[in-house]
Amino acid sequence: MGGAFEGCNVRKFLVVLYTALVLGANGAAADVGALRDGDMKKLALHDTPLPLPEAVLLDASDGEHSLTAFKGKWVVLNFWATWCAPCRHEMPSLDRLQTAMPEIAVVPVATGRNSVTGIEKFFAEAEVKSLPILRDPSSELARGMGVMGLPVTVI
């Protein structure tokens, strides 16, 4: 085999195929007009990437990190907190996404006052194994990106 059915292209094809199957199997979801009036109305699309605010993220050992390390890569940036019930529900999906597509960077950022111990417990309970522990303890990045509630995911 070769050509379009190699590596990342296979994954992209499968994502499109599965999406088409889900939409085709669900008549309500197939109504694109209804999607534009529902939750999809919250989706903000930009013609060009917006500049990111400069912020220091801390890992579990208080090592400093920056989003500039991901320049040129596809990044799924997820703002979350240990107390957030919807975050607990979606984090295993983000972990599976990182495992399935290692060429992208899934970057969960615990925003606000989340202790390392609390994050480690959260990850253990949610069976998260492939994602890094990164913290935005002063919510500097979250505020700079206009995050008003949790969870928020930015691509």
What residue numbers bound the domain in which 37 lies? 1-41
Partnered with residue 106 across adjacent β-strands are 76
Residue pair 131/119 in contact (Cβ under 8 Å)? The answer is no
Shared domain check, 12 and 82:
no
Domain count for the chain: 2
pLDDT digits (tens, 9 = 90+) for 95-142: 999 999 999 999 999 999 999 999 999 999 999 999 999 999 999 999
Q: How far apart are CA 91 and CA 127, in angstroms?
A: 9
Bridge-partner residues for 147, per DSSP?
none
Same-domain check for residues 72 and 17: no
Same domain membership, residue 127 and residue 60: yes
Global pTM? 0.73
> Looking at residue 28, what is its pLDDT?
47
Q: Quick one: 36 and 48 in the same domain?
A: no
Q: What is the Cα–Cα distance from 116 to 8, expressed in whole angstroms?
A: 34
Q: Which tens digit of pLDDT belongs to each residue from 10-67?
A: 666 666 555 555 555 554 444 555 556 666 677 777 888 788 888 999 999 999 999 9
